[in-house]
Amino acid sequence: MKKLTLFFLLVVCLSVSAQNESLFDEATEAYNEGSYEKAVENYLEILENGQHSAELYFNLGNCYYKLNQIAPSIYYYEKALLLKPNDPETKNNLTYAQNMTLDAIDKIPETGLAKIKKDLTGFLSFNQWAKITVVFMVLFVLLYIAFYFFRYSSRKRIAFIASMVAFLISIISIIFAFVQYNEFKSDRPAIVFSEEIAVRSEPNDRSLEIFTLHEGAKVNILEELNDFNKIQIADGKTGWLPKESIKTLKDF
């Protein structure tokens, strides 16, 4: 019975995978023909099947950009960058999409050390840093074993030094993965989908309007209360806006 269940699950997985591949090919063909709505439908169906990737989000961003839909295009480019942080093509297309937004929000300047830390740890996602840790830890073990089995001192020396380098890289990688993971968990970015929304001083529609945001603006969620989220924008301003006006990026 257990074997039959496993066989059934394997067949289902293979079937879904084949379906997703077919949908992806059809979406790509539709995009190349200028049928961007059809491409979006196929890409979204792949997401509904439980598969996601940086490439899929990137393609969705491109489709919505071609349709002049600012918020969705920025949303999916940002999601692609969460999985592939330093992809130059995604960053470039995101910049084009952001140039279509109405809000000009200046970022708070970063200190030298904070910028260096962000550049180093943000070069890869925490999953990618974790994979590097595993690879170099395995390499360390293999090189250390080779150190004991090599007969000549020159080879033993090379194996020992290489194993120590691999060990050091694995330690640095796991530290970077830990830092990235903590930042990933604490940061709750979202994109404004309302054409225009008032950000208020309190979580209700009767409170003072502090400033307004437009579709495509990126915010960070600080807390939630009933149907409102307290948000912060890049220049440090905070306020409350309705939950339905924004869409969180980390909803994988």
CA 220/CA 241 separation, integer angstroms: 12
Whether the per-residue pLDDT at 18 is higher than 70: the answer is no
Residue 11's pLDDT is 39
pLDDT at 6 over 90: no
Neighbour count for residue 13 (Cβ, 10 Å): 10
Burial label, 239 (beta-carbon count in 10 A; 0-12, 13-18, 19+)? buried
Query: Cα(92)–Cα(54) distance, rounded to whole angstroms?
Result: 15
pLDDT value at residue 196: 95
Q: Helices (DSSP H) in the chain: which residue ranges?
A: 2-32, 36-48, 54-66, 70-83, 88-98, 112-121, 126-149, 153-186
Q: Could you report the per-residue pLDDT of 88-135, keeping only the tens digit for each?
A: 999 999 999 999 999 988 887 777 777 787 778 888 888 899 999 999
Distances, alpha carbon 6 to alpha carbons 16, 42, 106, in Å: 15, 29, 54
pLDDT exceeds 50 at position 5: no
Q: Is 186 exposed, middle or buried (0-12, 13-18, 19+ CB in 10 A)?
A: exposed
Q: How far apart are CA 58 and CA 90, in angstroms?
A: 7
CATH of 2-98, one of 3.90.650.10, 1.10.10.10, 1.20.1050.90, 1.25.40.10: 1.25.40.10
Count Cα atoms within 13 angstroms, Cβ side, for 128. Answer: 12
Distance of alpha carbon 218 from alpha carbon 191, whole angstroms: 5
**β-strands 209-214, 218-225: how paired?**
unpaired
Confirm whether 2-98 and 189-248 share one CATH topology: no
Q: Among all chains, which residue has been given the structure tokens 């840093």? A: 129
Q: If pLDDT is split at 50, 70 and 90, which confidence band does 13 have?
A: very low
Does domain 189-248 correspond to CATH entry 2.30.30.40? yes
More confident of the two residues 169 and 20: 169
pLDDT digits (tens, 9 = 90+) for 176-210: 999 988 888 888 999 999 999 999 999 999 999 99
| pLDDT tens per residue across span 41-61 | 999 999 999 888 999 999 999
* Residue 219 CB burial class (10 angstroms; 0-12, 13-18, ≥19): buried
Give residues with Cβ within 8 angstroms of 207, minimum separation 6. Answer: 200, 201, 240
Distance CA 208, CA 205 (A): 8
What's the mean per-residue pLDDT of the chain? 89
Task: Report whether 82 contacts 187 (CB < 8 A).
Answer: no
Sorted by where each begins, the domain ranges of the chain are: 2-98, 112-186, 189-248
The mean pLDDT of 145-167, rounded to a whole number, is 92
Q: How confident is the model over 136-165, as a mean pLDDT? A: 92
Written as one letter, the residue type at 235 is D
Higher pLDDT, 19 or 207: 207
- Residue 17: what pLDDT? 65
